Protein backbone atom coordinates (compact mmCIF):
# COMPACT_ATOMS: atom_id res chain seq x y z
CA UNK A 1 0.00 0.00 0.00
CA UNK A 2 2.85 2.40 0.83
CA UNK A 3 4.43 1.69 -2.54
CA UNK A 4 1.20 2.54 -4.41
CA UNK A 5 0.81 5.72 -2.35
CA UNK A 6 4.42 6.75 -3.06
CA UNK A 7 3.95 6.17 -6.81
CA UNK A 8 0.74 8.20 -6.73
CA UNK A 9 2.47 11.12 -4.96
CA UNK A 10 5.42 11.03 -7.39
CA UNK A 11 3.01 10.99 -10.34
CA UNK A 12 1.17 14.04 -9.03
CA UNK A 13 4.45 15.91 -8.52
CA UNK A 14 5.65 15.00 -12.01
CA UNK A 15 2.38 16.08 -13.61
CA UNK A 16 2.40 19.40 -11.80
CA UNK A 17 5.99 20.02 -12.92
CA UNK A 18 5.06 19.39 -16.55
CA UNK A 19 1.94 21.52 -16.39
CA UNK A 20 3.75 24.65 -15.23
CA UNK A 21 2.00 27.48 -16.95
CA UNK A 22 4.54 29.43 -18.99
CA UNK A 23 3.12 32.83 -19.87
CA UNK A 24 4.40 35.50 -22.21
CA UNK A 25 6.09 38.45 -20.52
CA UNK A 26 4.62 41.29 -22.60
CA UNK A 27 6.41 44.65 -22.73
CA UNK A 28 5.28 48.07 -23.76
CA UNK A 29 6.84 49.28 -26.99
CA UNK A 30 9.01 51.74 -25.03
CA UNK A 31 10.24 49.02 -22.64
CA UNK A 32 11.10 46.73 -25.56
CA UNK A 33 13.01 49.50 -27.32
CA UNK A 34 15.02 50.21 -24.17
CA UNK A 35 15.82 46.50 -23.68
CA UNK A 36 16.81 46.07 -27.33
CA UNK A 37 19.24 48.97 -27.06
CA UNK A 38 20.89 47.30 -24.04
CA UNK A 39 20.99 43.80 -25.52
CA UNK A 40 19.50 43.33 -28.96
CA UNK A 41 16.85 40.75 -29.60
CA UNK A 42 14.25 41.07 -32.32
CA UNK A 43 10.99 42.68 -31.27
CA UNK A 44 7.80 40.71 -31.75
CA UNK A 45 4.90 43.16 -31.91
CA UNK A 46 1.34 41.89 -31.71
CA UNK A 47 -0.75 44.65 -33.31
CA UNK A 48 -4.32 44.18 -32.15
CA UNK A 49 -7.52 46.13 -31.60
CA UNK A 50 -10.08 45.87 -28.82
CA UNK A 51 -12.87 44.90 -31.24
CA UNK A 52 -10.92 42.19 -33.11
CA UNK A 53 -12.31 38.70 -32.44
CA UNK A 54 -9.39 36.94 -34.16
CA UNK A 55 -6.98 38.92 -31.96
CA UNK A 56 -8.75 37.59 -28.86
CA UNK A 57 -8.73 34.07 -30.28
CA UNK A 58 -4.97 34.29 -30.88
CA UNK A 59 -4.50 35.52 -27.29
CA UNK A 60 -6.48 32.53 -25.99
CA UNK A 61 -5.23 29.77 -28.28
CA UNK A 62 -1.78 30.75 -29.52
CA UNK A 63 -0.06 32.97 -26.97
CA UNK A 64 -1.07 30.66 -24.11
CA UNK A 65 0.78 27.72 -25.67
CA UNK A 66 3.88 27.00 -23.52
CA UNK A 67 6.12 26.43 -26.57
CA UNK A 68 5.09 29.78 -28.06
CA UNK A 69 5.49 31.56 -24.71
CA UNK A 70 8.97 30.08 -24.22
CA UNK A 71 10.18 31.16 -27.67
CA UNK A 72 8.75 34.66 -27.25
CA UNK A 73 10.27 35.07 -23.78
CA UNK A 74 13.74 33.80 -24.69
CA UNK A 75 14.27 34.95 -28.29
CA UNK A 76 12.28 38.19 -28.59
CA UNK A 77 11.08 41.21 -26.71
CA UNK A 78 7.33 40.59 -27.12
CA UNK A 79 5.08 43.65 -27.30
CA UNK A 80 1.29 43.98 -27.16
CA UNK A 81 0.37 47.06 -29.18
CA UNK A 82 -3.15 48.43 -29.45
CA UNK A 83 -3.17 49.67 -33.04
CA UNK A 84 -6.00 52.07 -32.23
CA UNK A 85 -4.58 53.39 -28.95
CA UNK A 86 -4.63 57.10 -28.23
CA UNK A 87 -1.34 57.56 -26.37
CA UNK A 88 1.67 59.31 -27.84
CA UNK A 89 4.54 56.85 -28.39
CA UNK A 90 8.21 57.64 -28.77
CA UNK A 91 9.88 54.82 -30.67
CA UNK A 92 13.47 54.79 -31.97
CA UNK A 93 13.72 58.57 -32.01
CA UNK A 94 10.37 59.37 -33.56
CA UNK A 95 7.10 60.32 -31.88
CA UNK A 96 3.88 58.76 -33.13
CA UNK A 97 0.35 59.86 -32.27
CA UNK A 98 -3.19 58.93 -33.14
CA UNK A 99 -4.41 62.10 -34.80
CA UNK A 100 -7.37 60.56 -36.65
CA UNK A 101 -5.66 60.95 -40.01
CA UNK A 102 -5.86 57.18 -40.58
CA UNK A 103 -9.33 56.64 -39.14
CA UNK A 104 -8.93 54.96 -35.76
CA UNK A 105 -5.40 53.68 -36.51
CA UNK A 106 -2.37 54.97 -34.63
CA UNK A 107 0.48 56.41 -36.73
CA UNK A 108 2.83 53.73 -35.37
CA UNK A 109 0.43 51.00 -36.49
CA UNK A 110 0.38 52.50 -39.99
CA UNK A 111 4.20 52.58 -40.04
CA UNK A 112 4.73 49.06 -38.64
CA UNK A 113 2.02 47.48 -40.78
CA UNK A 114 3.28 49.40 -43.82
CA UNK A 115 -0.14 50.90 -44.43
CA UNK A 116 -1.90 47.51 -44.61
CA UNK A 117 -4.17 47.77 -41.58
CA UNK A 118 -5.35 44.24 -40.85
CA UNK A 119 -5.78 42.67 -37.44
CA UNK A 120 -4.28 40.70 -35.96
CA UNK A 121 -0.91 41.35 -37.52
CA UNK A 122 2.37 40.41 -35.90
CA UNK A 123 5.47 42.38 -36.76
CA UNK A 124 9.02 41.07 -36.51
CA UNK A 125 11.43 43.96 -36.01
CA UNK A 126 14.93 42.72 -36.86
CA UNK A 127 18.30 44.22 -37.78
CA UNK A 128 20.02 43.70 -41.09
CA UNK A 129 23.77 43.37 -41.71
CA UNK A 130 24.14 47.16 -41.57
CA UNK A 131 22.46 47.33 -38.15
CA UNK A 132 19.38 48.92 -39.75
CA UNK A 133 15.96 48.01 -38.35
CA UNK A 134 13.61 46.16 -40.65
CA UNK A 135 9.92 45.48 -40.04
CA UNK A 136 8.29 42.31 -41.37
CA UNK A 137 4.52 42.37 -40.81
CA UNK A 138 2.67 39.05 -40.97
CA UNK A 139 -1.12 39.51 -41.04
CA UNK A 140 -3.76 37.08 -39.85
CA UNK A 141 -4.62 34.63 -37.12
CA UNK A 142 -2.03 31.88 -36.52
CA UNK A 143 -2.53 28.57 -34.74
CA UNK A 144 0.30 27.60 -32.33
CA UNK A 145 1.99 25.22 -34.80
CA UNK A 146 2.12 27.85 -37.54
CA UNK A 147 3.24 30.54 -35.06
CA UNK A 148 6.07 28.29 -33.87
CA UNK A 149 7.36 28.04 -37.44
CA UNK A 150 7.19 31.82 -37.89
CA UNK A 151 8.92 32.49 -34.57
CA UNK A 152 11.75 30.06 -35.29
CA UNK A 153 12.22 31.52 -38.80
CA UNK A 154 12.98 34.92 -37.26
CA UNK A 155 14.56 33.82 -33.95
CA UNK A 156 17.04 31.55 -35.75
CA UNK A 157 17.72 34.22 -38.41
CA UNK A 158 16.79 31.71 -41.10
CA UNK A 159 15.33 34.60 -43.13
CA UNK A 160 18.92 35.63 -43.92
CA UNK A 161 19.91 32.38 -45.63
CA UNK A 162 16.73 30.76 -46.95
CA UNK A 163 13.28 31.44 -48.28
CA UNK A 164 10.19 31.15 -46.12
CA UNK A 165 8.97 28.29 -48.35
CA UNK A 166 12.18 26.26 -47.90
CA UNK A 167 12.26 26.87 -44.16
CA UNK A 168 8.62 25.97 -43.73
CA UNK A 169 9.02 22.77 -45.76
CA UNK A 170 11.94 21.52 -43.66
CA UNK A 171 10.96 22.80 -40.21
CA UNK A 172 10.28 20.23 -37.49
CA UNK A 173 8.85 21.94 -34.43
CA UNK A 174 7.85 20.85 -30.95
CA UNK A 175 4.13 21.43 -31.55
CA UNK A 176 2.39 18.60 -33.41
In a domain, 52, yes or no: yes
Contacts of 142 (CB under 8 A, 6+ apart): 58, 62, 122, 150
In a domain, 175, yes or no: no
Query: What spatial distance separates the first Cα and last Cα of the chain, rounded to whole Å?
Result: 38
pTM for the full predicted model = 0.86
pLDDT interval class at 176 (50, 70, 90) = confident
- What's the mean pLDDT in 6-18? 41
In a domain, 110, yes or no: yes
In a domain, 124, yes or no: yes
How many domains does the structure of the chain reveal?
1
- Alpha carbon 92 to its chain centroid, in Å, reads 19
pLDDT the model gives residue 17:
40
137/124 Cα distance (integer angstroms): 6
In a domain, 33, yes or no: yes
In a domain, 152, yes or no: no
pLDDT interval class at 120 (50, 70, 90) = very high
In a domain, 36, yes or no: yes
Q: What CATH number is associated with residue 69?
A: 3.40.30.10
Q: Answer whether 52's CB lies under 8 Å from 122's CB.
A: no
pLDDT interval class at 128 (50, 70, 90) = confident
pLDDT in tens, 52-96: 999 999 999 999 999 999 999 999 999 999 999 999 999 999 999
In a domain, 61, yes or no: yes
Q: Collect contacts of 11-19 with beta carbons under 8 A, ≥24 apart.
A: none
- Could you tell me the residue range of the domain that residue 132 belongs to? 26-144
Amino acid sequence: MKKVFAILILSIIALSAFSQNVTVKWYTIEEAEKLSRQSFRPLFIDAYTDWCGWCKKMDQETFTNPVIAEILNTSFYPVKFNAEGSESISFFGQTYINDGKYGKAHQLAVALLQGKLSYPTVVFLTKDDNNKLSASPVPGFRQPKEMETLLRFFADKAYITQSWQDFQTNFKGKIQ
